[in-house]
Amino acid sequence: MPTIIKHIHLPGTTPFSTAQALQSLLVTQHLKYKASPSTIPEPPPYLLTFSPTPVYTFGRRSPPSLLPPSTLKTLREPLSTQLKYEGREKVEEAEVVATSRGGLTTFHGPGQLVVYPIIDLKSIHTPRFPQGLGVRDYVCALEKTTMSLLSTYKIPSFTTSNPGVWVNPREGGKTGEKEEKIAALGVHLRRHISSFGLGLNLYTDLRWFERIVACGIEGRGVTSLVKVQGDMGNEDKRMLGNRGKEIAMMNAAGQWGETFVEKLWGEEAWVNWVCLEELGKELGEEIGVEGREWFESLKRQQELNLEDVD
């Protein structure tokens, strides 16, 4: 019987806390099953994708409580953006959030595709991974999937000893002094259940990264898909305006998911896109009345997000 991976994509820009709450709920379903497999159905693998409100996240090794007040103040300062295609100015502030993922400090925000796979690594038994998926293989799949996506935009990319995906448009993708990170990676595992994942900069405002040493790596820059395309003289007109950007985000999320599933499960699996309303019904009694009300409020927020895109 083929494996079905359920893909939940949150359109528009989603509050980071909302995405975290949804991720936590899906992880909990897997943990409940592992604790009592005879009493509840096995949950499917999930793929959660979204573009968040501005937030600086800190991994387990770098809690924000260690930062001096002056640094925290700098991180929370507003950033003004001139929306040239809308003729108006937008001012945003970033949250500062501690997380359980690995890695150090990074930024997530609008224009970034964030991908959170919620899967049981040991439930994957395929000819490629007969003993289940190891952590190293899992991280490699995240990176290779991202590199495959970038190749469809004719952007060469590579990995280094540091987690994540890197590009070097000035030297055709070869490792050198000018290498820049385009996708950051940080995961968390509990009883082999994955959470968190990666953030790929599509049309992210890179000024947010000027306030931090991204991922704790000195002397390396951060870039985005749009910037690399511009450096290569290949500006993508499809990413102009809210509607074009949203379509580009959804297309990238869909293609990333399809490639990731193929790398882990092969052809004996497919991706099923699931809307929030359908997901709430599927979880049913597991989430109770309060959970169903939360899903309803989240669905209304996503409808508002789509109105903003129009």
Phi, psi of 212 (to 5 degrees): -135, 165
DSSP state of 233: T
- Among 184, 198, 215, 298, which one carries the catalytic annotation? 215
Extract long-range pairs of 126-131: CB within 8 Å, 24+ residues apart: 126/264, 126/265, 126/266, 126/268, 127/266, 128/264, 128/266, 129/264
**Sequence-separated (6 or more) residues with CB below 8 Å from residue 210:** none
CA–CA gap between residue 235 and residue 129 (Å, rounded)? 39
Q: Is 215 a catalytic residue?
A: yes
- Residue carrying structure tokens 């998911």: 257
Q: What is the DSSP string of 282-302?
A: HHGGGTHHHHHHHHHHHHHHH
* R_g of the chain computed on alpha carbons: 19
Residues tagged active-site: 215
